[in-house]
Chains A and B, each alone.
Chain A
Amino acid sequence: MTSSTLLPWVIGSAAVAVLLTAVLFVVKVAHHDLTRRAGDRRAHYIGAVGEILARRTIPEGLPVGWSDDPIFHDTLSEFLSIVAGEERRILTELSSRLGLSDRLASRARHLHRSAARAEAVHHLAELASPAHGPLFHQLFGDRSPHVRLGAARGLARLGDLSAVPRLIQALAAERPWIALRMADMLLAFGPSAVPNLTKWLREIALVSLQGNRQTTQVIRVVGLLSDPAAEPVLQELLDSPDPLVRMRAAEALGRCGTPGGVARLAAAMTDADWRVRAQVASSLGMIRDPSALDVLVTGLHDESWWVRQNSAQAMAELPAGRERLREMADEGTDEIVQIAHYQLALAGRGGS
């Protein structure tokens, strides 16, 4: 190896370093400029839309470029997500005059890049009208999960209950992140989705007895919708062979159960799995029915730390339970005394 054989390498490496220097500088300057311009346009749109809302009139001769600018779409979507009533009507009128819905629908259908299609369908979901229903159904079969999610958002916004079974299927078919968002979309339907969800639990989950992500998510959604009509099927699910299903069913019963169902829930305090027992204790605390007190006192002596903690926490939710905790704070075992003090302190009734 001689210095002359290395010379091209020296020159080459120096040239690469110089070239990268130039590229970095140009990229940074261009990025800086683009960011500044985008910020200016965004500020302009926020000001213009804000003024339209303040004046409650849409000026004639709106600039044509607005409807093609993704930054305007973003701005309008953000406004639409925070306004209601008359203001929402004005913004819908604005988008109509700009022909925005049609443009977004066209972009969602025809653009090649999935990111651009997803963006269009998410914006369109904010402007959703019944006329867009078939398009959202069509886009729910798109190859991009993000487009499917946008379509689900649009269907939820329309309250199209015919989409609920497809959304339930999506809980199993989609990858976890998208499935969670689909569960959020089911929630967006509100209590009107409960009959469909409980029907699915009764016909599919209870028959197959297979616990899986789909079943647990549907149970969770039912619980979050807090409709007492779901109580019977949730009680049946407490007999599932899968502890995760039993746990989720107990959690959902805590949210939507009634005092009439406490006995069934209390029976689950003898479940073999400590996670189920811990959840049952919490759920009994959520229902706040005095008849649960005895079983919660039993829970204070459970072998699991979590069951003991949750039982005490649930007791602190009941007036009679707090009374029992006060008694225990004086004469229980060391741990019971500590737990009782803690829960009473949290309940703001003394302790510590």
Chain B
Amino acid sequence: MQGYLLAVGLASWLELRRHRHLGKFDRSADMLSSATTPPVSIIVPAYNEAAGIVDSVRSMSMLSYPRFEIVIVNDGSTDETLDRMIEAFRMEAISTPYRGDIATAPVRAIYRSRLPLPIILVDKENGGRADAINTGINVSRYPYVLLTDADVVLDGYCLLRAMRHVLEDRQATVAVGGNVRPLNGANVEYGKVTKADLGPTLLERTQVLEYVRSFVATRPGWSRFNTMLLLSGAFGLFRRDVLTEVGGLSRGHLGEDLDLTMRIHRHLRDQKRRYRIVYAPDAVCWTEVPNTREVLSRQRIRWHRGLFAAVRDFAPMLGNPRYGGLGLVAWPLFMLFEFVAPIIEFIGWFVIPISLLSGRLNWPVALSLLLIAYFIGAANSLLALLLDEAFGYFSRPIDALRLIGVAFLENLGMRQRTVWWRTRALWGGRSSWAWGNMQRRGVANLSN
């Protein structure tokens, strides 16, 4: 497994180096003033987001991008989400034509802001996150849509940077994923992250490291070979027509982001169309991560059940040469290391002590192997942090020491807990999709 991480890390390094080279020529101002930059619809599903929805939308409305609209979909919230939006942005109900490209729960009303802001608010019956996003896709007017969440803070230039990849090859690029980072502890002023932070607790810092490993040391590598399996729900830019072709997001799916990305791959490869799904490491968005063990465990169990569903749904793609590198390499490796490995590790918890007690285990050899795995695991995390240095976050010496500490401590408890949650996800029945019930603090309240 550590070898796999090293190999993907190397590919990511090469990809980030290419990005760095292109970044030297990044003239965002050119795109900002260009009439050739395509407009984008930002779709934000909201369920009981009254605490932060107004600040989030205000922050999004300040994005540096020539032309965009923000479509907020209130998914039958039981709190004051709708009222707060109506009041803050002087929304008024309008009678508007609604294209039912994708079937969704009934729409109650559509509002448009009386202020000179491109905001559309859709009020609909509760149907879950996927259904809310599908409604947003139906209402959106522009050829590209950014799917995001109500609790994220988007970097001012993230949309420009993501769309830059689209403009590099507009015919082929159907989706662009962004770099998601934990927001906990960060300073947010006027909807902009002014200072990144690692968060106050070890739990949050460990998640910072996990996100760095995933978004900096893994995804760029897969993107290099057009085998990105997952675009995060916090930042996924899609061509609208492709989304409608695949029928939008699957309602009730626990891993809807993975499911959507995989369905797009399958659909386009089945049709033998030239396409690419790319990752934009410099398109950064920030999201709150769980700060208690209970919420984190629920999140991880949900994620793993989503993965389980995807494994079941896309099993025919496994090892199938029709799907090229995706079916032969990326999907099998993803399954092996994300789905199978935790099960093997869990079984090991029982096999090793039993073997030790029954005298069948050569404990000096076992201890040596354990130490090798531990140090290589730490080395992988440190390499990921070195790659992350390209972005310049957490550059204070104290942050460096904290991250190094987390790299060594993570395997002493946190990793085992995650394995336990992942294993637990495999039983306990299929709970239906529920909107995250994490206690949000709201973007405006994050300033320290």
A interface residues, Cβ below 8 angstroms from B: 1-3, 6-7, 9-10, 13-14, 16-17, 20-21, 23-25, 27-29, 31-32, 35, 115, 118-119, 122, 146, 149, 175-177, 180-181, 183-184, 187, 217, 220, 224, 305, 309, 335, 338-339, 341-342, 345-346, 351-352
Chain A CB within 8 A of B448 CB: no
Residue of B nearest to A9 (CB): B372
Residue of B nearest to A312 (CB): B97
- Provide the residues of chain A in CB contact with B364, threshold 8 Å: 2-3
Query: How far does the Cβ of B119 sit from chain A's closest Cβ, in whole Å?
Result: 14
Residue of A nearest to B171 (CB): A176
Q: How far is the CA of A115 from the CA of B17 in the complex (A)?
A: 13
Q: Contact: A25 with B400, CB < 8 Å?
A: yes
- Provide the residues of chain A in CB contact with B30, threshold 8 Å: 181, 184
Q: Contact: B94 with A175, CB < 8 Å?
A: no
Q: Contact: A24 with B385, CB < 8 Å?
A: yes
28 contacts across the A-B interface (CB closer than 8 A): A6-B369, A10-B372, A17-B376, A17-B408, A24-B382, A24-B404, A25-B397, A27-B386, A27-B389, A28-B394, A28-B399, A28-B400, A29-B397, A31-B389, A32-B395, A115-B21, A115-B24, A115-B25, A176-B169, A176-B170, A177-B167, A181-B27, A184-B33, A305-B97, A305-B99, A345-B94, A345-B96, A352-B93
Q: Contact: A16 with B397, CB < 8 Å?
A: no
Known A13-B375, A16-B379, A184-B36; judge A28-B395 contact (CB<8 A): yes
Which of B27, B401, B403 counts the most chain A CB atoms within 10 A?
B27
Residue from A2, A309, A335, A352 within 8 A of B94 (CB atoms): A352
Q: How far is the CA of A14 from the CA of B27 in the complex (A)?
A: 43
Q: Contact: A338 with B392, CB < 8 Å?
A: no
Residue from B25, B96, B371, B397 within 8 A of A146 (CB atoms): B25
Q: Contact: B368 with A3, CB < 8 Å?
A: yes
- Provide the residues of chain A in CB contact with B92, threshold 8 Å: 352
Query: How far does the Cβ of B368 sit from chain A's closest Cβ, in whole Å?
Result: 4
Q: Contact: A342 with B397, CB < 8 Å?
A: no
| Chain B contact surface mostly | helix
Chain A CB within 8 A of B357 CB: no
- Provide the residues of chain A in CB contact with B318, threshold 8 Å: none
Q: How far is the CA of A112 from the CA of B365 in the complex (A)?
A: 54
Q: Contact: B376 with A338, CB < 8 Å?
A: no
Q: Contact: A24 with B386, CB < 8 Å?
A: yes
Chain A CB within 8 A of B168 CB: yes
Chain A CB within 8 A of B273 CB: no
- Provide the residues of chain A in CB contact with B97, threshold 8 Å: 305, 309, 335, 338-339, 342
Q: How far is the CA of A14 from the CA of B375 in the complex (A)?
A: 5
Q: Contact: A9 with B368, CB < 8 Å?
A: yes
Known: A115-B21, A345-B112. 6 other contacts (CB 8 A): A6-B369, A9-B372, A25-B400, A28-B400, A122-B27, A346-B94
Known A6-B365, A6-B368; judge A28-B25 contact (CB<8 A): no
Q: How far is the CA of A9 from the CA of B403 in the complex (A)?
A: 25
Q: How far is the CA of A74 from the CA of B183 in the complex (A)?
A: 31
Residue from A25, A118, A338 within 8 A of B95 (CB atoms): A338
- Provide the residues of chain B in CB contact with A305, threshold 8 Å: 97, 99
Known A6-B369, A115-B21, A342-B97; judge A13-B34 contact (CB<8 A): no
- Provide the residues of chain A in CB contact with B369, threshold 8 Å: 6
- Provide the residues of chain B in CB contact with A2, threshold 8 Å: 362, 364-365
- Provide the residues of chain A in CB contact with B169, threshold 8 Å: 176
Q: Contact: A10 with B25, CB < 8 Å?
A: no
Q: How far is the CA of A115 from the CA of B20 in the complex (A)?
A: 11
Known A13-B372, A118-B25, A184-B36; judge A3-B367 contact (CB<8 A): yes
